[in-house]
Structure 1
Amino acid sequence: MPTSPRKARVLIAHGKAKIDSYRPFTIQLCIATGESRQDLTLGVDAGYATIGFSVIDSTKELFACEIELLKGQVERNNKRRIYRRQRRSRLRYRKARFEKQNKPEGWLAPSIQHKLDTHIKFIHRLQSIMPITETIIEVAAFDIQKIKANGEIEGKEYQEGEQLGFWNLREYILHRDNHKCQHLDCKNKAKSPILEVHHIGFWKKDRTNRPGNLITLCTKCHTAPRHKKNGSLYGWEPKVKTFKPATFMSMIRWKLVNALQCDHTYGHITKHNRIRLDLPKTHFNDAFCIANGQHQTRAIPVFFQQKRKNNRCLEKFYDAKVLDIRTNKIVSGNDLNNGRRTRNKNLNGENLRKYRGLKKSKGRRQVRRQRYSIRPHDIVEFDGSIYKAVGVQNKGTYLKITNGVKTVVKNIKHVKTIFHQKTLMYVSR
Structure 2
Amino acid sequence: MVYVLSVNGKPLMPTNNAKARILLKQKKAKVITVRPFTIQLLYETTTYTQSIILGIDSGYLNIGFSAVTEKKELISGEVKLLQGMKERLYERSMYRKIRRQRLRYRKPRWSNRIKSKKQGWLAPSIQHKLDSHIRFIDSIYKILPVTKTIVEIANFDIQKIKNPDINGAEYQQGDMLGFWNIREYVLYRGGHKCQNPNCKNKDKNPILEVHHLNYRSNGATERPEDLITLCTKCHTSPNHKGFLKDWKPKLKNFKDATFMSIVRWYLVNILKEKYNNVSFTYGYITKNHRINNKIEKSHYNDAFCIAKGINQIRIKPVKIEQVRRNNRSLEKFYDAKYIDKRTSEKVSAGDLNCGRRTRNKNKNGERLKNFRGQKVSDGQRRIRAGKYFYQPNDLVRYEGKIFTVRGTQNGGKYIALKEIKKVPKVELLTPYKFNKGFVYGLC
- With the length of structure 1 as denominator, give the TM-score of the two structures: 0.70
- Letter in structure 2 aligned against 1:370: G
Report the equivalent of 1:303.
319
1:76 aligns with 2:76: no
- Letter in structure 2 aligned against 1:251: I
The one of 249, 260, 265 aligned to 1:254 = 265
Where 2:266 maps in the other structure, the secondary structure is helix
| Closer/same/farther in 2, CA of residues 250 and 98 from structure 1, 3 Å limit | farther
| Closer/same/farther in 2, CA of residues 320 and 87 from structure 1, 3 Å limit | same
Matches within 5 A, 1:1-150: 1-12=13-24, 16-34=28-46, 36-86=48-98, 88=100, 92=104, 96=109, 98-102=111-115, 103-140=117-154
State the Cα distance separating 1:21 from its structure 2 match: 3.3
- Letter in structure 2 aligned against 1:349: G
- Letter in structure 1 aligned against 2:91: K
Where 2:350 maps in the other structure, the secondary structure is helix
State the Cα distance separating 1:73 from its structure 2 match: 1.5
State the Cα distance separating 1:303 from its structure 2 match: 0.9
Query: Residues of 2 paired with 1:112 and 1:10: CA distance?
Result: 45
State the Cα distance separating 1:351 from its structure 2 match: 1.0
State the Cα distance separating 1:344 from its structure 2 match: 6.5
Report the equivalent of 1:231.
none
Query: Residues of 2 paired with 1:290 and 1:6: CA distance?
Result: 31
Report how many aligned residue pairs link the two structures.
341
Report the equivalent of 2:371.
355
Query: Residues of 1 paired with 2:418 and 2:141: CA distance?
Result: 35
State the Cα distance separating 1:104 from its structure 2 match: 2.1
Report the equivalent of 1:333.
349
Contact 1:142 1:268 in 2 (8 A): no
Where 1:64 maps in the other structure, the secondary structure is strand
Aligned-residue CA RMSD (Å): 3.4
Query: Residues of 1 paired with 2:442 and 2:431: CA distance?
Result: 19
Query: Residues of 2 paired with 1:51 and 1:138: CA distance?
Result: 11
Query: Residues of 2 paired with 1:68 and 1:390: CA distance?
Result: 18
Contact 2:322 2:437 in 1 (8 A): yes
| Closer/same/farther in 2, CA of residues 303 and 26 from structure 1, 3 Å limit | same
Query: Residues of 1 paired with 2:398 and 2:306: CA distance?
Result: 44
State the Cα distance separating 1:385 from its structure 2 match: 7.5
- Letter in structure 2 aligned against 1:116: L
Query: Residues of 2 paired with 1:321 and 1:291: CA distance?
Result: 53
State the Cα distance separating 1:38 from its structure 2 match: 1.2
Query: Residues of 1 paired with 2:252 and 2:425: CA distance?
Result: 53
Query: Residues of 1 paired with 2:339 and 2:286: CA distance?
Result: 54
Query: Residues of 1 paired with 2:281 and 2:128: CA distance?
Result: 23
Where 1:335 maps in the other structure, the secondary structure is coil
State the Cα distance separating 1:273 from its structure 2 match: 0.4
State the Cα distance separating 1:33 from its structure 2 match: 4.1
Query: Residues of 2 paired with 1:98 and 1:414: CA distance?
Result: 58
Query: Residues of 1 paired with 2:307 and 2:157: CA distance?
Result: 18
Where 1:132 maps in the other structure, the secondary structure is coil
Query: Residues of 2 paired with 1:148 and 1:24: CA distance?
Result: 48
State the Cα distance separating 1:43 from its structure 2 match: 0.3
The one of 386, 391, 397 aligned to 1:375 = 391
Deviations 1:300-334 (A, max 9, x none): 11111111121121011111111111111121111
Q: Which moved more, 1:302-311 or 1:340-349?
A: 340-349
Query: Residues of 2 paired with 1:395 and 1:239: CA distance?
Result: 44
Report the equivalent of 1:175.
none
Contact 2:396 2:404 in 1 (8 A): yes
- Letter in structure 1 aligned against 2:442: S
| Closer/same/farther in 2, CA of residues 409 and 348 from structure 1, 3 Å limit | farther
Where 1:358 maps in the other structure, the secondary structure is strand
Contact 1:42 1:53 in 2 (8 A): yes
Where 2:357 maps in the other structure, the secondary structure is coil
Q: Percent identity?
A: 49
Contact 2:60 2:255 in 1 (8 A): no
Structure 2 gap ranges (5+): 1-12, 169-248, 273-277
Where 1:292 maps in the other structure, the secondary structure is coil
Contact 2:61 2:256 in 1 (8 A): no
State the Cα distance separating 1:393 from its structure 2 match: 3.5
Structure 1 gap ranges (5+): 152-237
1:422 aligns with 2:433: no
Query: Residues of 2 paired with 1:100 and 1:386: CA distance?
Result: 50
Query: Residues of 1 paired with 2:423 and 2:395: CA distance?
Result: 15
Query: Residues of 2 paired with 1:271 and 1:64: CA distance?
Result: 18
| Closer/same/farther in 2, CA of residues 364 and 127 from structure 1, 3 Å limit | same
Q: Which moved more, 1:248-257 or 1:77-86?
A: 77-86
Deviations 1:53-77 (A, max 9, x none): 1111111111112101112121112
The one of 373, 377, 382 aligned to 1:366 = 382
Where 2:351 maps in the other structure, the secondary structure is helix
Query: Residues of 2 paired with 1:428 and 1:78: CA distance?
Result: 34
Where 1:375 maps in the other structure, the secondary structure is coil
Q: Which moved more, 1:58-67 or 1:99-108?
A: 99-108
Contact 2:155 2:261 in 1 (8 A): no
Q: Which moved more, 1:71-80 or 1:17-26?
A: 17-26
Query: Residues of 2 paired with 1:314 and 1:70: CA distance?
Result: 20
1:397 aligns with 2:422: no
- Letter in structure 1 aligned against 2:440: Y
Query: Residues of 2 paired with 1:365 and 1:149: CA distance?
Result: 52
Query: Residues of 1 paired with 2:401 and 2:21: CA distance?
Result: 26
Contact 2:392 2:407 in 1 (8 A): yes
| Closer/same/farther in 2, CA of residues 422 and 143 from structure 1, 3 Å limit | same
| Closer/same/farther in 2, CA of residues 30 and 398 from structure 1, 3 Å limit | closer
Query: Residues of 2 paired with 1:62 and 1:81: CA distance?
Result: 44
Report the equivalent of 1:323.
339
